[in-house]
Structure formats: structure tokens, C-alpha cells
Amino acid sequence: MSSVRTRRQAAAISTPATPTPEPRDQIIMNGNGAASDGEGKELHPQENIFLFWPNVIGYFRIVLAFASLYYMPLHPRTCSILYSVSCLLDALDGYAARAFEQSTRFGAVLDMVTDRCTTACLLVFLSSAWPRWALVFQGLISLDLASHYIHMYATLSMSGGDASHKKVDKSRSWILNLYYTNKTVLFLFCMFNEVFFIALYLLSFSSPFLSPQLLEVKKAGDAASTLQPGNPAVPPSSLIFANPHSAAALEYARSNKMDSTIPWIIAGISLPIMAGKQFINVIQLVKASKWLAEGDLEMRRIAGLPRKNKMK
């Protein structure tokens, strides 16, 4: 009996007791997800992702985009400035994310959705400005949305939920790898793509070559003189404003008095890069589709499909 007691005492001495954790190590998650110690003091206060600086910049981009859409039908200069600033802030939010260590999946999605929506809205306006080319602009909208959506979906489904759509392996596509990993290349392609469409927008107000109706002089009593979407220079001020000499009518006339030389130069310079951006969208669409197909084939192989009927 004494030998058993001795062995128990020896075991107690040789086996160290589990240390009691310090109060600061006794982390308890409260209702809103913040970590606190035993005394209720927060060790890691919950961060509000929606108020991260890159996301705040993203909200400001949306406000500027809506403002540019408001001025788009009648004030090309104001619209172009607001739209351009909104696009330029697209580069600033990336720098803010890296500087403040605030890169988030919500911010990445917000950035992509804002880009796709603003470009689509501008192309919709161009479709109404030149109905003859509406099919081309509609195709550009569809290509832009489809390529980015399929690429994002393929990345999430094939690489896991934590994968970034900007991480493209060279073995899959060296063009997409260069496009997404080189910040200078990405910025230039996105910038000149938007610059080309802005130049087309300005030409809808200033170039009789593209908009022959700018040369037509229509009277107030002409039944055909109606405010056509995308052709704000068609109707005279008297058809829009009760007083053609009012401040609003004068501002309308001033904003639409433009020369087409600079927009033509901008469009010519940015056209090749815009075409390259559309080529990248096509590659992105094809590569993402093939990637998804590879995953489908692997899943079918694992499931033993297709099942072959056994010979009786």
C-alpha cells in the first residue's frame, strides 16, 4: 500500500501540472467578434471593413460616377472630368490598400463591380448616340462582363475561396500573368481603354463626321426636332428651355460648343491599347472557360462518368 502511494507521489512530482493561463491569454469572443480578456478589456477590437480607406475611396468613386452620369446627356466637359477622376481613383485605392494593410475581398469585388458598371453605363450612352453602332457597344459590354465574371468564378471554384483573380500562373497564360501582376501594364490598359470611350463620348458632341445631325439646323416648329438620347446638340435651346437667353440655356450652349480635334487625337492614340484590352478580355474568357472544363472533366472522372452499360 505504501509502495502504491509512493509511486503516485513520484508521478505527481514528475508530471508538471498544466499551467493556468494568464488572464490576457484567456481570450473570449464576444457577440460582435472582438477578442477580450477575462476582465472584459478588448485585446483586438473588431475592424469595420466597410470603413477601410480603400473602400471609402471606392464609395467616393461611385458618387463621382453617378454625378458624371447626371451630367452626361448635356454637359460633356463636366461629365468627362468627373468620370476621369473616378477612374483615376481606381489606382489610388490599390496604393491605400497596400499602405494601410487593408486589402480585402470586399474591396476587390467593390472595385471590379464599380469598373464594370461605370464602363457599361458609358457604352450604353454611346449606343444611344450612334444607334448604327449599338451592336458593337453592346458586344463590348457583354464581353467585359462575361470575361471578368467567368474568370472570377473559375478562380474561386478551381483555386479555393482565398485565391485572388489577379494570381494567374504563367503556365496558364503568360499574357494574363503579365496583365495582372505588372501594375504598370494593368494601369495603362485600363486607363487608355476608358480614355478611348471618353474620346468617343466627346466626339458625339463635336464631330459632324460621326454625328452628321450636328450640321443640321432645325427650327422650333419642326416636328422632327426632338431631344434624341445621345445627340444633345441636335435640338436648339428653345426646345429645351422656356427662355433661350436664360443662364441655363447659355450654359447648355457653352458646354456643347466643342472642337473635335483633341478628341480625335485622343481616340487615335488610345485605340490600339483599347483593342489590346478587348483581346485580353477574349483570352481571359477562353482560358477561364477551359479551366472550368478541366475541373468538370476531373469531377466526372472521380465520379466514374460516363457509366458504360455492361454487356449481358
Q: Is 165 exposed, middle or buried (0-12, 13-18, 19+ CB in 10 A)?
A: buried
pLDDT tens figures, 17-56: 445 545 444 433 333 344 455 555 555 578 899 999 999 9
User: Does residue 304 have a pLDDT over 60?
Assistant: yes
Average pLDDT, the chain: 80
Predicted pLDDT at 83: 96
User: Does residue 218 have a pLDDT over 60?
Assistant: no
Share of the chain above pLDDT 90, in %: 51
Predicted pLDDT at 247: 72
Higher pLDDT, 28 or 185: 185
Predicted pLDDT at 139: 97
DSSP-derived letter for residue 22 is P
Element of type H or E holding 36: strand 35-36
Predicted pLDDT at 252: 66
Choice among 84-88, 249-253, 290-294, 303-307 with the minimum mean pLDDT = 249-253
Q: How far, in whole angstroms, is CA 14 from its chain's centroid?
A: 63
Higher pLDDT, 283 or 164: 283
pLDDT tens figures, 141-168: 999 999 999 999 999 888 876 778 888 8
Q: How many angstroms separate the CA atoms of 83 and 122, rounded?
A: 9
Choice among 17-26, 53-62, 233-242, 293-302 with the minimum mean pLDDT = 17-26
Predicted pLDDT at 158: 87
pLDDT tens figures, 63-110: 999 999 999 988 899 999 999 999 999 889 888 988 999 989 899 899
User: Does residue 179 have a pLDDT over 80?
Assistant: yes
Alpha-helical regions (H) of the chain: 2-14, 53-71, 76-99, 105-129, 134-159, 174-181, 183-206, 247-255, 261-302
Predicted pLDDT at 233: 44
49-209+259-287 fold: Four Helix Bundle (Hemerythrin (Met), subunit A) (1.20.120)
Q: How many angstroms separate the CA atoms of 73 and 63, rounded?
A: 17
Instruction: Please provide residue 307's backbone torsions phi and psi, each rounded to the nearest 5 degrees.
Output: -80, 130
Which pLDDT band, with edges at 50, 70 and 90, does 7 fall under?
Answer: low
The set of catalytic residues is 115
Predicted pLDDT at 156: 87
Predicted pLDDT at 206: 84
Q: How many angstroms separate the CA atoms of 138 and 141, rounded?
A: 5
Higher pLDDT, 256 or 134: 134
**Residue range 293-307: average pLDDT?**
91
DSSP letters for 175-200: HHHHHHH-HHHHHHHHHHHHHHHHHH
Predicted pLDDT at 127: 93
Per-residue buried b or exposed e for 28-66, using 16+ beta carbons within 10 Å of the residue's own CB:
eeeeeeeebeeeeeeeeeeeeeeebbbbebbeebeebbe
DSSP-derived letter for residue 226 is -
Choice among 134-143, 153-162, 223-232 with the minimum mean pLDDT = 223-232
Predicted pLDDT at 210: 74
Identify the CA nearest to 131 among candidates 70, 210, 203.
210
The residues with which 36 forms a beta bridge, in sequence order, are 28, 42
